[in-house]
Every structure is written in C-alpha cells, then in structure tokens.
Amino acid sequence: MISFIKGLGIVTGGLVGELNTRGFGEIKDGKLLLSPEEVLYLMEKRKRINVEDEKGKELGFKEILSAASRSDKMFPIKYLVYKDLRDRGYIVKTGFKFGAHYRVYPRGVKPGEGHAAWLIHVIKENKKIEFPEISRSVRLANNVRKKMIFAVVDKEGDITYYLIDRFTP
C-alpha cells in the first residue's frame, strides 16, 4: 500500500526493500519516498498496489495524474518520458539538482553503486528552445560527466531523443 501525501508516495513495510532494490524511491527514516512518476508507474505495472490519501481514501491513476499536473503543467509529458525509459529497463531519478528533469542510469547500474550516464530534459515539440539554453545544459552535463539528452514529445505522445554533445576541436 502506498500513501500519497503532499505530492509524494510513501511506502512502509515489506514493499520498501523490494521496490528500492528495483530502483524506485529513496529511503528516509525507514520509509520509501516515491515521486509522483514512480507512483503512477507502479500503479500501471503492478495492479495490486493501492494508493490512499492521508484520510485513507483510495486514489486512482487519474486522480494522482491530476494532482501532479496541478503543480507541474509539464507533468503529463514528463511522465510519458519517465514511463518510456523505465519500460526500456533504465532506472530514472530526478535530475533537479543538475538542471534537468531526469538523470538516467545505464542498465545494470543502481543508484549508490554507480553513476547516472545521462541527463534528460523534456520539451514539447512546438516549444522554442534558444541556443544559449542548449549550450548551458550541455556544458553542465559535461561538467558532471554525463551526456545531455533532450526528449521531444509530439502531440501524439511519441518521443524522439536527441543526444547533444560538446565538441572541442
């Protein structure tokens, strides 16, 4: 069972170790804290997981998606990218402190045991992005020894990944 309180999923009990071993959440004070993306992904993939609010009311997928979207207008397309990456076998964590939406670990590498290889920034296909922003993102990714990938999501929900690297002649 997952409690969804103030935008975070909170897991206690037997699921903590199992989910954390599979690359979900972060353990804090014996509880596993999950991002909204992780909660939704687990709801989709593991049908036996129930999610409740602080009052014990069961929440559905659409309710959590709506709650997360209220605080982050980009959340629906960010979730599409998160889901796509997890379905491909990658562990995906927040990239907030790196100035990106996500950081992604290569297959077989777990957080704490190795480092993320890529930073992912999600954008809508019709959003203009200025060259200085691209340059800043790539430079920052290189400074932390990661590759910068822009995930462009179109109107149909299809995702195209663009790896942009720094070249020094």
- What DSSP state is assigned to residue 114? B
- Is 78 in the active site? no
Distance from C-alpha of 150 to C-alpha of 134, rounded to nearest angstrom: 9
Q: Which of 78, 93, 101, 146 is catalytic?
A: 146
Q: Which of 110, 115, 124, 127 is catalytic?
A: 115
- Is 161 in the active site? no
- Is 115 in the active site? yes
Q: Which of 90, 101, 105, 121 is catalytic?
A: 105
Number of Cβ within 10 Å of residue 160's Cβ equals 10
Give exposure, 26-61, as e/b (b: 16+ Cβ within 10 Å). eeeeebbebbbbbbbbbbeeeeebebeeeeeeebee
Active-site positions? 105, 115, 146
